[in-house]
Chains A and B, each alone.
Chain A
Amino acid sequence: MPEQRADQRLFFTELLGLKVFDLKGRTLGVVKDAAIVPLLDPVRVDRYLIGSGAAWLTVRHDQVRSISLEGIHLRDEILTPYHSDEYMLRVVRDLLDQQIIDAQGRKVVRVTDVTFEVHQEDGGEVLWVLDVDIGLRAIFRRLVQGLLPASWIRRLQVGIPPHSIRWEFCNILEPDPQRRLRLNISNRLLEDMHPADLADIVEDLTPEHREAIFENIDSEVAADALSEVDPDIQASILESLETEKAAEIVEEMAPDEAADVLAELEQETSDEILEEMEHEPKQEVRELLEFEEDSAGGMMNTEYVALQETATVEDAIQALKSNEELMETLNTLFLVDSGERLTGVVPLARLFLHDGATPLRSLAVETLIDAPVTEHRDRITELFDKYNLLALPVVDEERKLSGVITADDIISVLREK
């Protein structure tokens, strides 16, 4: 079906209160609200709700012959009474003056007005949602609507800079899971965001909305975002989630981050979540929880690659291939003896310059710097600064390698001061 694109715009403030005319040109009522049915079409306005008195009538999008500032002309007059519908996203009730997430600008905003595009479709005209408007221009329109003629408003508003967000980047906030399904609210936009940006957004939301987001997004994304969120809010989020979901998320987190988060919770809640976790992550986190928060043990993470001191460059490459998920943050390899005791540190970059048969021992750093699990946080920061380290291996009393502290951990510590 060929659709001619009209470049006409209509604002919701103009749509509201627009007269609706029947085939003979008599006024049936005025527009009280407009609704989108996301499951049918995410952009097109599906229904117009018109009223003249207490009862409202529904006008379907295909019953409209033309829409303009002058009014809405219908092409057939079979109108049904309005009944509240869980599948409808109504502009006045659900969108206007509510908070939504701007996935492109990565912040939480409040809807002041909506801009539509008028399209020709099947011999009639339909409205497609184009933008959500926030900012001064929209505020001006809202304040003045009904007080001045629409054409004046259009002219006067030109002086004020606009501020809009494209509809496809808008994420509706809805805590009720059933309604989320009915409104076809997807988390894709949120899941595509950088976890740190998602964390920022989450911090600006109410507890109810935070819970809704974490209950529904992918656990891996949730884990990444959660580790970036402010500690107080982390605790509040985990406490509000179902234990199973909380455990799923904590499992996906790096053990040291998981330990930090669980340490913030009430003992009871923390234990419940640990119980629900799978065995391996549970063990790792439990071990880390044993350490004091501001000691090396409390700061380190257990994701590192260690090889026997007799290994070669080739062995190292093989080891890295099987630990691909660590590659993003890895910059050092560790060498251990048969008793798992730390004997050397090899910067990853050195592997590039030597062939496969080179023994790793010859590539090790000349002076081995390490720290005991009990070392205090401040001393560790000093070590990083003094020796210009990127990673610091942590050893137990028997000099066995227990974990590694990386530079990004130190940055968080320094910022806290």
Chain B
Amino acid sequence: MWKRFRYHIAIFFAVIGPGFITAMVDNDAGGILTYSQAGARWGYLPLWTLLPITVLLIVTQEMSSRMGAVTGKGLSDLIREEFGLRITFITMAVLVLANLTNMIADFSGIAGSLEIFGIPRWVSVPIGAAVVWLLVVKGTYASVEKIFLFACVVYVAYIVSAILVKPDWKQAAIYSVKPVLMLQGAYLYMLIGMVGTSIAPWMQFYLQAAVVEKGVTAKEYKESRIEVIVGCIAMSVIAFFIIVACAGTIYAVAPRDLQVPADAAAGLRPFGSYAYLLFAAGLFNASLFAACILPLSTAYSVCEGLGFESGVNRRFREAPIFYWLFTLLIVVGGAVVMFPKFPLVKMILFSQVLNGVLLPFVLIFMILLINKQKLLHEWTNSRFYNFVAWASVALMIGLTMALVALSIQDMMRT
């Protein structure tokens, strides 16, 4: 009895990693800024989205890890085998584009956070890019992973800050469950961004590949399911407190859009004058972490799907496309940010909205694949899952179309 318990715990810790890391990476530059902006501009209003987002997140992550554990293949492998080369190629092209904007967001985070310390962009970004590249190539990523995860403890600052602000907990509680849908362009933009930052398309590819790499099998899968759920809930809790903290500090004073990353630091003001430092440290840590995972994951997914050699243990000559791809992501991501008047916050928010727009399409693939008996055997989706998944796809596409329609309407009017 005790032995079986120990066995389960051992698997839990062995398997902890993919789901948890993915959730922590959720709260990268894109995440922190999107939630901060939501709280700053709309107050407690956006809180209701967290519950449905968490449910969708759990469903999506669980599907990814289930597919990875049962089939033993990554998502791009499956898409290639079941849908053919053309569809894989288009998906990969779109993924690279979206991830490029995410990379820009992460470098914006690095630049913005170090600017709070007074380090100018043209210093922080090239050094940051070089550090990321070296970390990835030298393969010491695995050990650095642990340091990053540990540093994520900084997020606790938001929880403390939110409490210190003495928000109207009753209001917050009401808005946590009261759905508000306004047909306003900016509001829809925020909604799509919130979903996109919590459930980024690239994360589905990353998570499934990580589960396969870890060798989790269908048998051990139950433990990894728990870890996935724990990670998702952790992410939502942090998001909740970020929104509340910014709602209480910025919105309560004067609701506005964030202009520069330092504005979001104001959300930590109640925590003391060290607020800026804590915020900068947290933002920097999250951005650097994501900047290391993202290009590598993208390069692996693309090479996997199109059949090119991949792996950092291979020499450049053996896997040219792999190396070019992640190097390009890092270089372009950094270069774009260095333009002097580059709107950091706008870019970060846009990248997350782009994630939200692309998410339904990746979800469609996932749902189609996960219901194939020949792949998943007895592990196909339950009807509840399918319902949630398809409903979310419809909702997201609906929101996007509404946003586009409103934007066109706006443009025609002016």
Residues on A lying within 8 angstroms of B by beta carbon are 96-99, 109-110, 112, 134-135, 139, 142-143, 206-208, 232-233, 236
- Name the residue of chain B whose CB is nearest to the CB of A147: B86
* Interface residues of B, count at CB 8 A: 14
The CA-CA distance from A143 to B86 in the complex, in Å, is 6
The answer to whether residues A142 and B71 also contact, given A97-B80, A134-B307, A233-B215 and a CB cut-off of 8 A, is no
Say whether A143 contacts B72, CB under 8 Å. Answer: no
* Inter-chain contact A236/B217, CB cutoff 8 Å: yes
Q: List 24 A-B contacts (CB under 8 A).
A: A96-B84, A97-B80, A97-B81, A97-B85, A98-B81, A99-B81, A109-B307, A110-B80, A110-B307, A112-B85, A112-B307, A134-B307, A135-B308, A139-B85, A139-B89, A139-B306, A139-B307, A142-B86, A143-B85, A143-B86, A206-B71, A206-B72, A208-B72, A232-B215
Q: With CB as the reference atom, state the residue of chain A lying closest to B82.
A: A97
* Residue numbers in B under 8 Å from A208 (CB-CB): 72
A14 to B279, CA, bound (A): 59
Nearest chain B CB to A401 CB, angstrom units:
38
**Is the pair B72, A207 in contact by a Cβ cutoff of 8 Å?**
yes
CB <8 Å contact, B85 and A142? yes
Q: Collect the chain A residues with CB atoms within 8 Å of residue B308's CB.
A: 135
- Shortest C-beta distance, B215 to chain A (Å), equals 6
Smallest distance from the beta carbon of B314 to chain A beta carbons, Å?
11
Question: Taking each of A112, A206, A207, A232, which has the highest tally of chain B beta carbons within 10 Å of its own beta carbon?
Answer: A207
With contacts A135-B307, A206-B72 known, what are 18 further pairs, Cβ within 8 A?
A97-B80, A97-B84, A99-B81, A109-B307, A110-B80, A112-B85, A112-B307, A134-B307, A139-B306, A139-B307, A143-B89, A206-B71, A206-B73, A207-B72, A207-B217, A208-B72, A232-B215, A236-B215
Q: Give min CB distance, A20 to chain B, whole Å.
A: 23
* SS class, residues of chain A in contact with chain B: mixed
**In the complex, what distance in Å separates the CA atom of A232 from the CA atom of B84?**
32
Q: What is the minimal beta-carbon distance from A386 to any residue of chain B, in angstroms? A: 31
For B306, what are the chain A residues with a Cβ–Cβ distance below 8 Å? 139
* Interface residues as binary, B84-103 with A (CB distance below 8 Å gives 1, 0 otherwise): 11100100000000000000
Min CB distance B189 to A, Å, is: 34
Complex Cα spacing A139 to B71, Å: 25
Residues of A within 8 A of B81 (CB): 97-99
A242 to B11, CA, bound (A): 24
- Chain A residues contacting B307 (CB-CB under 8 Å) are 109-110, 112, 134-135, 139
Residues of B within 8 A of A134 (CB): 307
Bound together, the chains give a CA A243 to CA B72 distance in angstroms of 23
Residues of chain B contacted by A99 (CB below 8 angstroms): 81
Residues of A within 8 A of B73 (CB): 206
Name the B residues within 8 Å of A207 (CB-CB): 72, 217
Q: Which residues of A contact B86 (CB under 8 A)?
A: 142-143
B80, B85, B89 interface centre (most CB from chain A within 10 Å): B85
Give A206 to B89 CA distance when docked, in angstroms. 23
Q: Determine the chain A residues whose CB is within 8 A of the CB of B217 once the complex forms.
A: 207, 236
> A314–B308 Cα gap in the complex (Å)?
58
Closest-CB distance, B119 to chain A (whole angstroms) = 38
Write out, one digit per residue, whether chain B residues 288-316 have a CB within 8 A of any chain A CB (1) or not (0): 00000000000000000011100000000
When C-beta atoms are compared, the residue in chain A nearest to B215 turns out to be A232
Report chain B residues within 8 Å CB of A135. 307-308
What is the chain A residue whose CB lies nearest that of B81? A97
Kindly list chain B residues whose C-beta atoms are within 8 Å of the C-beta of A233: 215
In the complex, residue of chain A having the shortest beta-carbon distance to the beta carbon of B84: A97
Residue of A nearest to B72 (CB): A206
- Per the bound structure, the CA–CA distance linking A119 and B68 in Å amounts to 44
Q: How far is the CA of A232 from the CA of B308 in the complex (A)?
A: 26
Q: B residues within 8 A CB of A206?
A: 71-73
CB neighbours (8 Å) of A236 from chain B are 215, 217
Question: Nearest Cβ in chain A — how far from B7, in angstroms?
Answer: 8
Q: Which of B235-249 contact A (CB under 8 A)?
A: none
Q: 5 closest Cβ contacts across the A-B interface?
A: A206-B72, A110-B307, A142-B85, A207-B72, A97-B80
Q: How far, in angstroms, from A207 to B217 measured CA to CA in the complex?
A: 9
Q: A417 → chain B, closest Cβ, in Å? A: 14
The CA-CA distance from A399 to B330 in the complex, in Å, is: 62
Tell me, rounded to whole Å, the shortest Cβ–Cβ distance linking B188 to chain A. 35
Q: Which of B95-128 contact A (CB under 8 A)?
A: none
State which residues 253-308 of B face A: CB under 8 Å.
306-308
Distance A233 CA – B215 CA, assembled complex (angstroms): 8
B86's nearest neighbour on chain A, judged by CB, is: A143
Can you name the residue of chain A whose Cβ is closest to the Cβ of B305?
A110
Q: Residue of B at shortest CB range from A107?
A: B309
Cα separation A206 to B71 with both chains bound (whole Å): 7
- Assembly CA distance A96 to B71 (angstroms): 19
**B 310-329 contacts with A by CB, 8 A:** none
- Residues of B within 8 Å of A109, CB to CB, are 307
Give the distance to chain A from B159, nearest Cβ to Cβ, in Å.
37
List the A side residues contacting B84 at CB < 8 Å: 96-97
Residue of B nearest to A210 (CB): B72
Cα(A135)–Cα(B303), bound, Å: 11
Contacts of B215 in A (CB 8 A): 232-233, 236
Contacts of B71 in A (CB 8 A): 206
Question: Closest CB of chain B to A256's CB: distance in Å?
Answer: 25
Cα distance A177–B112 when bound, in Å? 59
CB distance from A197 to the nearest CB of B (A): 16
Which residues of chain B (53-81) have a CB below 8 Å from chain A? 71-73, 80-81
